[in-house]
Amino acid sequence: MKTLFRGLAATLLACVLTACPETTINEDFGFKPAVLKVADWSGSWTPVDEGDDDAVQFAVANAAQGLLVLTEPGKKDAKPIEFRIRRASADSKIKLCFAVAQERDAKKPGAASLFLMRTAENGVLYIWGINHDAVAAAIKSGQLKGTVKPDKDGAHSHLDSTEANYEKLLEPQFWIWSEPTCLKRAKK
């Protein structure tokens, strides 16, 4: 993965342009907005395995509503991605949040992508992708609430914005733990 932005943008675009498995949600997914500290989030970030030339920029658009905008400086054709950072648990001590992501200019109701994010701390940020197959199986079995539309290339799932789903999604089978995106604050 060259940069976080390219990875996230590729994920979002792939789900829109192809019939690959996907999991969508509404913008209100999660317990409530995470209140962001501007100093912890705003600025340049780089993947730990890349140089500072691959930095992405996070800007806090609304700290009280947990709203971040991700851009890639120097890339005129790159579209900003909006992240709504929402609590994954009613327990505020848990540092895991849902990152509800959508291209800022192409927002469609019910078409946001879901990531799991550990709150930014000490200049380090972790992001995990969702396991689409595990989500589809859990919806079909009744463990999660939502809908699954079968497709020849994989299931298209939509998770309902319900408290039961939030708690259940903290179980490890729903995330791709072996492939986290790890970002560090870029040197100034």
Quick: pLDDT tens for 35-50.
Answer: 999 999 999 999 887 6
**pTM confidence score:** 0.84
CA 54: distance to chain centroid? 19
- Whether the pLDDT of residue 5 is over 70: the answer is no
The sign of the torsion formed by the CA atoms of 45, 46, 52, 54 equals negative
- Lowest model confidence (mean pLDDT) among 2-11, 27-36, 40-49, 150-159: 2-11
CA distance 173 to 74: 37
Mean pLDDT, residues 51-69 taken together: 87
CA distance 152 to 69: 34
- Whether the pLDDT of residue 2 is over 60: the answer is no
Instruction: Decide which of 4 and 24 is more confident.
Output: 24
Beta strands in the chain (DSSP E): 22-25, 43-47, 56-62, 67-71, 81-87, 96-103, 112-121, 124-129, 146-149, 156-159, 181-185
Q: What value does the mean pLDDT of the chain take?
A: 84
